[in-house]
């Protein structure tokens, strides 16, 4: 039997003088039961009031800070459920009663179950808050990633509640290790069977969080290129330039070298041309400044260099480097077209001709053949 503390025992002896209050139920007087109910009700009301007041004051303090950790803690505190508080109140009130070992053990079980379920509720709410923040940050750049995060949140929630149930069983006295050992062989077999699926699943999570690319980005993977159409839980779909859809496994995709042209802030362009060997030195010297003038006269460009590079097989070769201050491919092609046309017009005005593959053959003089004398035999 659970011994009642001396103050509580004295209180019962003082106020239990009425005969009706001495009526016993399950080994305890009616007065003791009424006292336990009163303590439970008062304890629940006090806990509820403290929670509301404490939560309101912390919310005001958190509004003055810029961090999100305190906001998360306050939100979790606000999701403390009433059954958990009621279980605590009943647990406190039960100590004024004489309980046999079975009921005393049941009292402990109720508190353990209520606490573990409340922990699961807090964990589930934390996952929801994380998903909401990701929806705000990731959703602005990649709305399709929200679907991936939503699917992964289901997996994380399932793992959370499995852990809560195992923790509950462990605290109730069950040997969880034996249970896990019994499921070990089957678990290994299942893990091997879904190894590739889990690899793609976690690769999807990595893509959603690290964001090496998002929906709408133009990427090149090995010899394949196209625009990212969707990032799923297992695969990523890319629409190629030809219009067909390319499907990559998420895990294989992260193992590859990915070139993301959408993230390019500027484009470095290198091009060359050649002029005929008949071009004079003065004309060759005037070509680099003219090319620089052409490029600097265009918007969204930055000139780098232009040089007489080498003596080619059939031309004087020049090399030009400049930057397009945009990642748009169409803008780059428009600028390159303007440069090419300006070079054609400028060279025509200056009498400079572009080179083309030529070959000169030098033939040595061949001596004339000596006359050949033919003798006829007599018949």
User: Has this prediction a pTM greater than 0.85?
Assistant: no
Q: What is the pLDDT of residue 1?
A: 40
Same domain, 161 and 208: no
313 close to 358: Cβ distance less than 8 angstroms: no
- Which residue reads 């793609």 in tokens? 200
Strands 224-231 and 218-221: antiparallel
On whether residue 255 sits in a domain, the answer given is yes
Same domain, 83 and 162: yes
The domain that contains 215 carries what CATH number?
A: 2.30.30.60
Same domain, 288 and 258: no
On whether residue 123 sits in a domain, the answer given is yes
Same domain, 164 and 46: yes
On whether residue 251 sits in a domain, the answer given is yes
Q: What is the pLDDT of residue 315?
A: 93
Same domain, 323 and 219: no
Percent of the chain with pLDDT over 70: 74
27 close to 98: Cβ distance less than 8 angstroms: yes
286 close to 351: Cβ distance less than 8 angstroms: no
On whether residue 188 sits in a domain, the answer given is no
Same domain, 93 and 142: yes
Count of domains for the chain? 3
Better-scored residue on pLDDT, 259 or 184:
259
On whether residue 370 sits in a domain, the answer given is no
Query: Per-residue pLDDT tens for 167-221?
Result: 777 776 777 666 666 555 555 555 555 566 777 777 777 777 777 888 888 899 9
Same domain, 79 and 152: yes
Which of helix, strand or coil describes residue 165?
helix
Same domain, 213 and 314: no
| Separation of alpha carbons 7 and 24, rounded Å | 21
Same domain, 271 and 258: no
- Edge-to-edge order in the sheet of strand 245-249: 245-249, 235-240, 224-231, 218-221, 258-260
- Tell me the average pLDDT across 253-270: 86
Exposed e or buried b for every residue in 134-151, given b needs 16+ CB within 10 A? Answer: beeebeeebebbeebbeb
Same domain, 221 and 295: no
On whether residue 373 sits in a domain, the answer given is no
Domain boundary among 102, 136, 171: 171
Same domain, 12 and 155: yes
On whether residue 185 sits in a domain, the answer given is no
Same domain, 324 and 245: no
Average pLDDT, the chain: 78
Q: In the structure, what pLDDT confidence band is assigned to residue 2 with cuts at 50, 70 and 90?
A: very low
The domain that contains 284 carries what CATH number?
A: 3.30.70.100
Q: What is the pLDDT of residue 271?
A: 95
Print the domain residue range for 308: 267-350
On whether residue 374 sits in a domain, the answer given is no
- Which residue reads 């940050």 in tokens? 137
Query: Per-residue pLDDT tens for 37-56?
Result: 888 888 889 888 888 888 78
């Amino acid at each position: 039997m659970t011994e009642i503390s001396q103050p509580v025992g004295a209180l019962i002896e003082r106020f239990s003088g009425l005969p009706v209050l001495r009526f016993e139920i399950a080994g305890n007087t009616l007065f003791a039961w009424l006292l336990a109910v009163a303590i439970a009700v008062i304890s629940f009301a006090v806990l509820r009031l403290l929670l509301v007041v404490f939560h309101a004051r912390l919310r005001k303090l958190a509004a003055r800070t810029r961090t999100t950790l305190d906001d998360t803690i306050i939100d979790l505190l606000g999701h403390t459920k009433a059954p958990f508080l009621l279980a605590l109140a009943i647990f406190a009130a039960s100590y004024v009663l004489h309980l046999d070992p079975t009921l005393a053990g049941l009292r402990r079980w109720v508190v353990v179950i209520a606490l573990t379920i409340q922990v699961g509720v807090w964990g589930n709410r934390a996952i929801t808050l994380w998903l909401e923040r990701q929806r705000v940050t990731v959703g602005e750049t990649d709305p399709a990633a929200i679907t991936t995060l939503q699917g992964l949140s289901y997996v994380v929630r399932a793992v959370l509640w499995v852990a809560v149930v195992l923790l509950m069983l462990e605290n109730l006295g069950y040997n969880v290790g034996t249970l896990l050992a019994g499921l070990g062989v089957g678990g290994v077999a299942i893990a091997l069977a879904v190894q590739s699926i889990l690899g793609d699943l976690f690769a999807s999570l990595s893509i959603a969080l690290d964001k090496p690319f998002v929906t709408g980005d133009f990427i090149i993977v090995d010899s394949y290129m196209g625009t990212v159409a969707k990032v799923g839980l297992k695969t990523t779909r890319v629409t190629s330039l030809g219009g067909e859809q390319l499907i990559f496994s998420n895990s294989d995709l992260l193992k590859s070298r990915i070139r993301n042209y959408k993230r390019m802030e500027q484009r470095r362009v290198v091009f060359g041309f050649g002029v005929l060997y008949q071009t004079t030195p003065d004309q060759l010297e005037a070509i680099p400044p003219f090319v620089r003038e052409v490029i600097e006269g265009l918007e969204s460009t930055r000139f780098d260099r232009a040089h007489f590079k080498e003596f080619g097989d059939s031309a004087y070769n020049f090399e030009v480097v400049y930057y397009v201050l945009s990642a748009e491919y169409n803008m780059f092609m428009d600028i390159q077209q303007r440069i090419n046309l300006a070079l054609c017009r400028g060279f025509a005005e200056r009498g400079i001709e572009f080179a083309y593959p030529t070959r000169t053959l030098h033939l040595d003089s061949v001596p004339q053949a000596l006359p050949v004398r033919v003798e006829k035999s007599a018949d």
